Amino acid sequence: MKRSALALLSTLAFASSAAQAVEYNHVLAEQSQIAFGYQQMGVSMEGGFKRFSSQLRFDPAAPDAARAMIEVDLASVDTGSAEGDEELARKTWFNTPDFPSARFESTRVNALGGNQYEVAGTLTIKGTTRDVVVPATFTVAGDAGVFEGSLNIQRGDFSIGEGAWKAFDIVANDVVIRFRITAVAK
């Protein structure tokens, strides 16, 4: 009895030290979401993307070595209406035939203390690349690590909405991108 308790303790100790060094590197697509929000004549609108791929390497013990890449399939946009989805594929919006995906690639991860991080990187949409800094939190949920955060961009910076849509009085310039990426160690 005593021995088995000891064995259990040492197993736990080993498990917890292993958890310290765990590298989350396999993204679970079904438990990950990328959504966006914007204002349309004072109305808060919500949308999302059904398909995106991501590669991740994150060890909470060594955030400096972390890497993240997310590629969003822009044709999978879901605005809540078929008319809106079709419109976004057009040249004036995402121009999906010429620019099928949007891409975020990290260059540096700063630990801000606690579960707060700052992920610097580049965001490329519709042929325009911009440096961005994405605030994110990291929490462990069972075997998985969950990254959550949001990034404010301005659609005008990426020529999203040209021509008649270029003015911001109907569809606002500010867009917030919200993400939840769940990864496990593999």
Partner 1 sequence: MSAHYTATAKALHWCIAVLIFGMLGLGFYMTGLDLSPTKLQLYSWHKWAGVTVFVLGLLRLVWRLGHPPPALPQHMGALERFAARAGHLTLYVLMFAIPLSGWLMSSAKGVQTVWFGVLPLPDLLARDKALGDLLQTVHLSLNFLLMAVLAAHVGAALKHHFIDRDDVLTRMLRRRPD
Note the residues at the interface with partner 1 (CB under 8 A). 40-46, 80-81, 83-84, 87, 164-165, 167, 169-171
Nearer to partner 1 by Cβ, of 64 and 169: the residue is 169
- CB closer to partner 1, 132 vs 176: 176
Q: Which is nearer to partner 1, 46 or 174 (CB)?
A: 46
- Among residues 97 and 163, whose Cβ is nearest to partner 1? 163
SS3 79: coil
Handedness of CA 155, 161, 163, 169 (dihedral sign): negative
Judged by beta carbon, residue 33 or residue 115, the one nearer partner 1 is 33
Q: Map 104-162 to HEC letters.
A: EEEEEEEEEECCEEEEEEEEEECCEEEEEEEEEEEEEECCEEEEEEEEEEEHHHHCCCC
Question: 173 with 154: CB under 8 angstroms?
Answer: yes
- Residue 40 Cβ, how far from partner 1 at the closest point, in Å? 6
Q: What's the closest the beta carbon of residue 156 comes to partner 1, in angstroms?
A: 14
Distance CA(158)–CA(175), nearest Å, equals 11
| Contacts of residue 81, Cβ cutoff 8 Å, sequence gap at least 6 | none
**Residue 116 CB, nearest distance to partner 1 (Å)?**
31
Q: How far is the CB of 186 from partner 1 (least distance, A)?
A: 35
- Angle (CA) 127-180-25 rounded to 5° is 85
User: Whole-number minimum distance, CB 42 to partner 1, in Å?
Assistant: 3
